[in-house]
Structure 1
């Protein structure tokens, strides 16, 4: 049920990475208002959060670099590939984990709710990239779900 939202986010994220390839490095790291304060760090942040949450759901070690050490799109792409593998591991176990609960500092959250949080969190930060792209006088990535190749099969109404 949640997988299509991740497929959507991964497509949009890849499009933003490609969009960023056209920017001078100075624009990628330039301090900005809101979000994670730069385009580069905003992209890293969404992958970082996915990695941390999914690792906790799977009960495996978090394997991250501090945001200050992220200097290039290649750094983010490598981290994103590792993170996506972890997320796909969770989806492989989804039937077992559907009713599982994550205990976080005395609060309990279902795995499904955490995965929904990850998906919507990314949408929020991708919106910030759209605002910054317009500030640069550039068209943002088209984030419209309808024309994207994302299947929503077997979802209850």
Structure 2
């Protein structure tokens, strides 16, 4: 499997895992989404917003039209609006990867960090970070969901692969 095919797979997994995550959040009492939790972004809604912010920042850089916003920006206060925006973002990531070539994937990207200076990094490393970042915070959200009375999430990559078979 080449690099582009790998990241297309990761985009599909990301979309699938986010769908399961949002479905689990949707069955919680609404106030549980906003209650303080032990995490870097201290509520389910704040963490979900952070994930959307980070993906918008990274994808905008990859597309050459960088957005600028703090990492703790609250894009949507209402869960339903955030869920629609998350779905659209996942589709935008998939669309970006559908047009990606191996030459572009192996090239460098220079971007301006939100909290520091300018950096130049390989695009494949940026994409790897983007998907790893999602997984990192979905792990935190899984714990927050359990704390809120939700059920455990089964969103490991192997479960996604099994769904495809």
Tell me the TM-score normalised to structure 1 length: 0.82
1:136 aligns with 2:148: yes
Which of 115-124 and 29-38 deviates more? Answer: 29-38
Name the CA distance, whole Å, in 2 between partners of 1:10 and 1:150. 15
1:48 aligns with 2:53: yes
Q: Deviations over 1:71-112 (max 9, x none)?
A: 122221232233234323321332142122211334211111
Q: How many residue pairs are counted as aligned between the two chains?
A: 152
The answer for the alignment partner of 1:68 in structure 2 is 74
* Closer/same/farther in 2, CA of residues 67 and 74 from structure 1, 3 Å limit: farther
Q: Which runs of 5+ in 2 are unaligned?
A: 1-5, 112-116
* Closer/same/farther in 2, CA of residues 51 and 150 from structure 1, 3 Å limit: farther
For the aligned residue pairs, the C-alpha RMSD in angstroms reads: 2.6
The answer for the alignment partner of 1:87 in structure 2 is 93
Note if contact 1:8-1:150 (Cα within 8 Å) is conserved in structure 2: no
SS of equivalent to 1:46: helix
The answer for the alignment partner of 2:3 in structure 1 is none
Aligned runs of 1:93-108 on 2, under 5 Å? 93-95=99-101, 96-104=103-111, 105-108=117-120
Which of 25-34 and 97-106 deviates more? Answer: 97-106
* Closer/same/farther in 2, CA of residues 122 and 150 from structure 1, 3 Å limit: farther
Name the CA distance, whole Å, in 2 between partners of 1:69 and 1:131. 23
The answer for the alignment partner of 2:14 in structure 1 is 9
Which of 133-142 and 17-26 deviates more? Answer: 133-142
Name the CA distance, whole Å, in 1 between partners of 2:163 and 2:8. 9
Name the CA distance, whole Å, in 1 between partners of 2:9 and 2:163. 6
Deviation at 1:141, TM superposition (A): 1.4
Name the CA distance, whole Å, in 1 between partners of 2:149 and 2:163. 33
Tell me the TM-score normalised to structure 2 length: 0.79
